[in-house]
């Protein structure tokens, strides 16, 4: 035979870590397809279609804006409340949506995974990437509000891909852990939802950080999401670099979480497919 043949040998199954990324590369066509499907299909049977991607964060923001800015009279020094709020919502949404959909990827695609050979991580990663794409689209309404309120868009906005990619890594890492657990226990996804809700309250999305009493401050700051948010806000509208430790937390937690998630996922993969 002259052409190189693809050989599948079950004895050489899965050298963890490397094989996951090799599979993603090999199935990159499918990955791209799944991401676009995710983005367009969600609103396929609705009148507004993809416009929902833009409207969704705006609607959430409007409600919270009325409650916290108009009713509770929260104020953030130096920035319109709407900008502060929306930037927080974007980060929290990416994390929550990404972890939820990555976590459900195995269970939701069980029908395919148990009939056709597709590396399961392709589904998991595509869900995370779709959440990140949603985030990128949602930057448009954020910038629009910044322009309208006179904040403007600083040049540092060009650096947003950095926190975005790190948050994506962190999100997929957490999501992969959830995905592996969700195959064993079906209530894991519900528990995850509760957990995500709690985490989102611990991050200053709608309240100023100055409201937190000194002794509780570490609880807020130890949360990696706090650092992502801080870096993102610095780039998106403040036009400054967040303190160095925020960058350190962001990069270390992002890389570590992704590696941990991929490792656990690829270790347990063999058992997972049988359980589906």
Partner 1 sequence: MSEPLIQVENLGIAYRLSRNRAGTFKEFAIRAVKRQVTFEKLWAVRGVSFDVRPGEVFGVVGPNGAGKSSLMKAVARVLPPSEGRVVVRGTVAPMIELGAGFNPELSAQENIVLYGALLGRRPELMRERTHDILAWADLLEFADVPIRSFSTGMLARLGFAVATDVQPDVLVVDEVLSVGDEAFQVKSRARIRQLMDSGVSIVLVSHSLPLIEETADRAMWMDHGAPKMIGNPTDVVSAYREWSK
Contact 124, 174 (CB under 8 A): no
Least distance (Å) between residue 135 CB and partner 1: 24
Nearer of residues 27 and 206 to partner 1, judged by Cβ: 27
Q: Is the dihedral of CA 20, 23, 29, 30 positive or negative?
A: negative
Nearer of residues 9 and 214 to partner 1, judged by Cβ: 9
Report how far apart, in Å, the C-alpha atoms of 248 and of each of 238, 245, 253 are.
20, 5, 8
Rounded to whole angstroms, the Cα distance separating 24 from 32 reads: 10
> What is the binding site for partner 1 (CB under 8 A)?
5-11, 13, 26-27, 29-30, 32-33, 37, 41, 44-45, 111-118, 181, 184-188, 191, 270-271, 273-275
SS3 190: helix
Q: Give the containing element (helix H, strand E) for 205.
A: none
Least distance (Å) between residue 209 CB and partner 1: 34
Nearer of residues 10 and 210 to partner 1, judged by Cβ: 10
Other CB atoms within a 10 A radius of the CB of residue 56 amount to 17
Least distance (Å) between residue 189 CB and partner 1: 10
Nearer of residues 24 and 86 to partner 1, judged by Cβ: 24
Rounded to whole angstroms, the Cα distance separating 44 from 37 reads: 10
SS3 115: coil
Least distance (Å) between residue 122 CB and partner 1: 9
Nearer of residues 172 and 189 to partner 1, judged by Cβ: 189
Rounded to whole angstroms, the Cα distance separating 272 from 196 reads: 24
Nearer of residues 86 and 183 to partner 1, judged by Cβ: 183
Least distance (Å) between residue 149 CB and partner 1: 39
Least distance (Å) between residue 49 CB and partner 1: 13
Report how far apart, in Å, the C-alpha atoms of 170 and of each of 102, 116, 173, 224, 234 are.
12, 29, 5, 9, 19
């Amino acid at each position: 035979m002259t052409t190189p043949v693809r050989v599948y040998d079950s004895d050489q199954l899965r050298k963890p870590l490397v094989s996951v990324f090799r599979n993603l590369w090999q199935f990159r066509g499918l990955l791209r397809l799944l991401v676009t499907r995710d983005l367009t299909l969600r609103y396929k049977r609705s009148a507004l279609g993809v416009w929902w991607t833009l409207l969704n964060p705006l609607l959430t923001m409007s409600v919270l804006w009325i409650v916290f800015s108009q009713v509770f009279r929260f104020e953030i020094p130096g920035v319109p409340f709407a900008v502060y709020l929306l930037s927080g919502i974007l980060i929290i949404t990416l994390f929550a949506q990404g972890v939820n959909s990555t976590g459900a990827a195995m269970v939701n695609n069980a029908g395919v995974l148990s009939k056709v050979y597709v590396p399961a991580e392709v589904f998991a990663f595509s869900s995370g990437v779709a959440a990140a794409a949603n985030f990128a689209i949602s930057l448009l309404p954020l910038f629009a509000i910044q322009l309208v309120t006179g904040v403007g868009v600083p040049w540092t906005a060009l650096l947003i891909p950095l926190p975005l990619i790190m948050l994506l890594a962190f999100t997929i890492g957490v999501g992969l852990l959830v995905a592996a657990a969700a195959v064993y226990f079906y209530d894991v996804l519900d528990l995850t939802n509760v957990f995500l809700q709690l985490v989102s309250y611990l991050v200053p999305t709608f309240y100023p950080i100055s409201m937190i009493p000194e002794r509780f401050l570490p609880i807020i700051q130890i949360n990696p999401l706090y650092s992502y948010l801080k870096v993102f806000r610095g780039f998106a509208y403040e036009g400054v670099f967040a303190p160095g430790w925020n960058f350190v937390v962001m990069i270390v937690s992002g890389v570590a979480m992704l590696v941990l998630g991929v490792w656990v996922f690829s270790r347990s993969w063999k058992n997972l497919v049988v359980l589906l």
